[in-house]
Structure 1
Amino acid sequence: MTDVDAIRIAFDEGSLTTLRIVLGLILLGVALDTRVTDFRRAIRRPWAILVAVFAQFLVLPAITFVLTLLLDLRGSLALGLILVACCPPGNVSNILTHRAGGDVAMSVSMTSVGNVLAIFLMPANVAFWGSLHPTGRDLLREIELSPLSMLAEILLVIGLPFVVGIYLSHRFPRFAGKARRVVGPVATLGLAAVIVVGVANNWAIFTAYIGLVVVAVFVHDALALLLGYAIGLAARLPEGSVKASTFEVGIRNAGLGLLLVFSFFDGLGGMALVAAWWGIWDIVAGLAVAAVWKRRTGVSPEVGAAVA
């Protein structure tokens, strides 16, 4: 079997354009669900936001780096996990927080702040941790990754839709309220379709190497969810905010990672497999955690009081 670091997965320009559009719609959906008051809420409750940001952009990439060393992963697989760990959360985290009976308003605030910061922190994080990895750094040298080029791509896919969505939400709240009910679900289904088609077109590669990916993604995803939960508890956040932080840290926008793999890493096999499987497993695990949590604790007290 060919070394996973040597494989390249095909993804044509049309598929890349479709993926960009779908990801832009996902971020537009997040922004349409965001109000200026969410940022004001974040300013009034900075501790909860700082906890989520600290976990997402500092602790999770560091834990991921250590995990790749402990599992002795090949370079492309290690870079795939690092890339996903550096991705921001998507609107799936808000949905799962709602399903778990958590503080959705806080979740939306965390997602909004996290996506804005990711525009600048993600390229730096990927370049930093990737360059430190003993097997991944050689691949980065071959690819000659440019953090500035990645920043431009992230600005296009995250920044522009986010600004447009915030504007629409502020100026036309009634329209934004109706649009977000359509945009979010359509974009999520679109991303699922892109991943399914991509896997189907590369089925032989997927089945040959997925065994290398399953365990690493399972452990990594579990650690991300556990980190969000543990840091929320350690910071003594209310129960609803702990649920929010769990999914904000544990749920990553792996679709964005997949786009960056094909845009900047030449479809590097191990990275593409990790991002694709993460995007699938992350939702499955998140739904399971949310269902168990809601059944055991119901709606968190402070959330129920706010609704009442």
Structure 2
Amino acid sequence: MAPLILPLRFRLLPEAAPGWLRASPAPRSGLSYPRRLPVLQCHAGPAPAPPPPPVVGIPRWNSILASAAGLYPAYVTAGAAVAVARPDAFRWFVALAPGSYTFALGLIMLAMGLTLELSEFLALLRERPISILFGCAAQYTIMPAFGTVVSRVLGLPPSLSVGLILLGCCPGGTASNVVTLVAKGDVPLSIVMTVCSTLGAVFLTPLLTKILAGAYVPVDVVKLSLSTLQVVVAPILLGSSIQSAFPSIVKFVTPFAPLLAVLTSSLLACSVFSENFARLRSTIADASYGNGSLFSGDIRVVMLSVFLLHFAGFIVGYVAAAIGGFKERQRRAISIEVGMQNSSLGVVLASAHFSSPLVALPAALSAIVMNIMGSTLGLVWQHMTPADLKNETIGMPDV
């Protein structure tokens, strides 16, 4: 997970007084003058306000922590390489599943809550109702639909089809906030969309999974809803409450929260990937996957399905926002938010509520594929400055 980046307002320091306002040495003459004369000013109105206090810069260690949190794709990719070379490296975490998975996701959501100020969230919600509603609607229509279509077109087995559909029904991932910042998109819009889609996941994720994946395996909507409520909404509300009750402590802890969430999310994704990779190589490789190689048989098809799902999210999300008449920065934010899922939630729900471990495999692969795709797209857009960047301010209401 990546940090929630809220807009900051900076004030410029006043420049030094011009030369004609400065006191000058007294002229040389026979009279005795003081060496420097005070400058007398006459004001027709009230006295001018004192200059604003100097703006304190962001501590260097805060910048280092933020930069380290932005390396999420690198952590996931490195962890995946370790999982392939030595799957038993994550055995200590896998052995405690599903409890360890649930705890890890709760910790990620708690970190999100610590960085969320309800007053700023509500203000942004009032300023951008149309774009937020449009983005959330796109999130829960485009991705679930393409999860279903891709699984059927590629002919995935039932367990993998359910996993891909469940991934498509998950809310937006918080890594999208960092990618939107890199892509010069609308960061506040991305933040509010992430929070709203995450809160809506309590009802929408189980319901859509039941509708779209119920034909493959039985789906218990009530249990899925309760799990989502426990591991997503409750930690977010707890973190926000802690922020209100202990602001000084949270102020110290907040810079560490994004990096902690990123490392925890990387551990969760790589552990599930290593679990499935080890099982695929040992128990069902001969039956379904040829020689058990990572890139052979159905594993290659699963990787392709995950790629196509996120690719559709990025492309169709951008096109839909363009058709909706949104500006370029908002199009980029909606595209990234739709294309990047909360794969950690998919892993936890799949591990806790489905008997086959293969259901969690698409979400585990998504943590790797999605972040590489999103980071690449962000870097491409970073070198393409939006035409409306100079005219559109962050706090500007929707048009």
Contact 2:314–2:339, Cα closer than 8 Å, also in 1: yes
Superposition pairs for residues 126-275 of structure 1, below 5 Å? Answer: 126-131=209-214, 137-138=215-216, 140-141=217-218, 145-173=219-247, 175-204=249-278, 205=280, 207=294, 209-269=298-358, 271-275=359-363
Tell me which of the two structures has the higher relative contact order, counting C-alpha pairs closer than 8 angstroms and 6 or more residues apart. 1
**Number of corresponding residues:** 288
Offset of residue 304 of structure 1: 7.2
Secondary structure in 2 aligned to 1:102? coil
Paired with 1:17 and 1:46, the residues of 2 have a C-alpha distance of 37
Paired with 1:303 and 1:24, the residues of 2 have a C-alpha distance of 40
Structure 2 gap ranges (5+): 1-90, 282-293
Secondary structure in 2 aligned to 1:301? coil
For 2:75, the equivalent position in structure 1 comes to: none
* Cα displacement string for residues 237-266 of structure 1 (whole angstroms, at most 9, x for unaligned residues): 222222211121111011111111110112
Distance 1:300 1:24, change over 3 A: farther
For 1:85, the equivalent position in structure 2 comes to: 168
If you compute each CA radius of gyration, which structure gives the higher value, 1 or 2?
2
Paired with 1:34 and 1:303, the residues of 2 have a C-alpha distance of 27
Paired with 1:113 and 1:97, the residues of 2 have a C-alpha distance of 17
For 1:18, the equivalent position in structure 2 comes to: 100
Contact 2:159–2:356, Cα closer than 8 Å, also in 1: no
Higher helix share: 1
Paired with 2:154 and 2:176, the residues of 1 have a C-alpha distance of 27
Selected match of 1:282 from 360, 370, 376:
370
Paired with 2:100 and 2:206, the residues of 1 have a C-alpha distance of 22
Paired with 1:243 and 1:117, the residues of 2 have a C-alpha distance of 22
Contact 2:190–2:337, Cα closer than 8 Å, also in 1: yes
Paired with 2:202 and 2:252, the residues of 1 have a C-alpha distance of 27
Offset of residue 18 of structure 1: 2.2
Contact 1:101–1:299, Cα closer than 8 Å, also in 2: no
Cα RMSD, aligned residues only:
2.4
Offset of residue 62 of structure 1: 1.9
Distance 1:229 1:176, change over 3 A: farther
User: So what's the TM-score if we normalise by structure 2?
Assistant: 0.67
Shifted more, 283-292 versus 207-216: the winner is 207-216
Contact 1:102–1:300, Cα closer than 8 Å, also in 2: no
Offset of residue 305 of structure 1: 3.9
Contact 1:87–1:253, Cα closer than 8 Å, also in 2: yes
Secondary structure in 1 aligned to 2:156? coil
For 1:106, the equivalent position in structure 2 comes to: 189
Contact 1:119–1:151, Cα closer than 8 Å, also in 2: yes
Secondary structure in 1 aligned to 2:341? coil
User: So what's the TM-score if we normalise by structure 1?
Assistant: 0.85
* Cα displacement string for residues 170-214 of structure 1 (whole angstroms, at most 9, x for unaligned residues): 444554444332122212212212332343344341625421212
Paired with 2:128 and 2:180, the residues of 1 have a C-alpha distance of 18
Distance 1:202 1:297, change over 3 A: same
Identity %: 27
